[in-house]
Every structure is written in C-alpha cells, then in structure tokens.
A and B are shown apart, each in its own frame.
Chain A
Amino acid sequence: DQQVKQNSPSLSVQEGRISILNCDYTNSMFDYFLWYKKYPAEGPTFLISISSIKDKNEDGRFTVFLNKSAKHLSLHIVPSQPGDSAVYFCAAINSGYSTLTFGKGTMLLVSP
C-alpha cells in the first residue's frame, strides 16, 4: 500500500514558466512533509519542508502548499530554470517516529 503517491512520473516545462509537482498521501498521521531533488548519480538533496500546522512555506523560487483536508501537497517552482531538471521526491513523516516515507518521484524537465 503506497502511502505517498506522486501520480505524474514526468513533467515538461519551458524555462521561465511555473512548474507544479503534486503529491498525495493517505496516512493521516503524517504531520511533516519534505521535498527532495535528485540528480543522476547523486543522492537526494533536501529542498523544502512544511509542517502540518502550516498551509504554505516559501523559500526563494520554491513554495510548498499543503491541503490537509485533501491530503495533498504541491511544490511550485517559479520561474523554472534548466538547472531544475531533476527527479523530485515527496516525503512524509509522522513526527512520533523517525522514518521518512517517499513517493516514487516525478522527473522534471525544464527546456530552454
């Protein structure tokens, strides 16, 4: 049973436009959410996170939105740059534990 789902395996966006990556979760005990970016042959790099007590967190070009009632979160990248091309993983955690549950990832391709 997949508790964190990223239903879009890939996404193509033009440079300068907005990229929106989506993530759904089923476990209502998750109370902290993270996004990671991964380039080939490298480990995932932490990007941005959000606590369940918030509905938005912003860091430069990256904004994460959380809709708890829909069990849905999204990562917005504005403006998108070619260097943003990577696989993006959504992850969730129940703060009573210490294990991250990851989605399967979305490959973002930003073309010039």
Chain B
Amino acid sequence: KAGVTQTPRYLIKTRGQQVTLSCSPISGHRSVSWYQQTPGQGLQFLFEYFSETQRNKGNFPGRFSGRQFSNSRSEMNVSTLELGDSALYLCASVKTGGGYEQYFGPGTRLTVT
C-alpha cells in the first residue's frame, strides 16, 4: 500500500508570495492533518480535515488555510509569506476507525527568502 505522499518536496519562495502544498493520504484514510516543524519547536498542529470539512484548527494566523477534496487529497495554502514561515510542512493521515496513530508523509521543505 502506498504511503502518504507530499508534493513538492522542496520549495523556495520570496517574501510576500503565496504557496500551495499538496498531500495525498494513504488509500482509505479520510482524515488528514497538517503540521509545521521548525528547529526547536517540534511539530505544531496546523489543521485537520475529515470528509472535506475542517475538524480542528491550531493556533496559526489566517494566512494559513487548507482544504480537502472528495478523494481525501488535501492542500494547504500560505499567503503573504514571511521569513518565519520557512519550515518543514508535514501531512499525516489516520486510518478511519483504526486508532490514533497518524502516518506521516516525507514533508515539504519550504524556504522563504
């Protein structure tokens, strides 16, 4: 079974631009969560989608948004990029009715210059 895939793997953007990251969960998984990882901060929860609805949201500004499609694929968007948005963005999917383990993709490394 294919794992969680994220595209692109690496991205370089300029301050003020916007970016869209994509995540395809494991087949059959309907819940997708997004996390931001920065040095010294661990993984910080951004938001979670289930059946195309945002179910939970972390403490991030409104510049961070996301959505989920009917095939469970998810995108997150960051508008008006700031230098502090440079991070590894991780997507995770959860097996429906299968416990609390989240399965992570390899992440997208975003660098804002």
Residues of A within 8 A of B (CB): 32, 34, 36, 41-46, 49, 89, 91, 93, 95, 97-105
Contacts and interface: CB of A to CB of B under 8 A. Distances in A.
A45 B104 contact: yes
How many of chain B's residues touch chain A, expressed as a range?
A: 20 to 34
B45 interface: yes
Most buried by A among B4, B90, B104, B105: B104
A105 B56 contact: no
30 contacts: A32-B100, A36-B104, A41-B106, A42-B106, A42-B107, A43-B4, A43-B90, A43-B107, A44-B90, A46-B102, A46-B103, A49-B99, A49-B100, A49-B101, A89-B42, A89-B43, A93-B100, A98-B48, A98-B50, A98-B94, A98-B100, A99-B33, A99-B45, A99-B58, A100-B33, A101-B45, A102-B44, A104-B40, A104-B42, A105-B42
Nearest to A42: B106
Q: Is the interface of B mostly helix, strand, loop or mixed?
A: strand
6 interchain residue pairs of minimum CB distance: A43-B104, A104-B42, A102-B43, A46-B101, A44-B104, A99-B56
Contacts of A98: 31, 33, 48, 50, 55-56, 94, 100
A46 B98 CA distance: 14
Interface of B: 4, 31, 33, 35, 40-45, 48, 50, 55-56, 58, 90, 92, 94, 99-107
B57 to A, nearest CB: 9
A20 B4 CA distance: 30
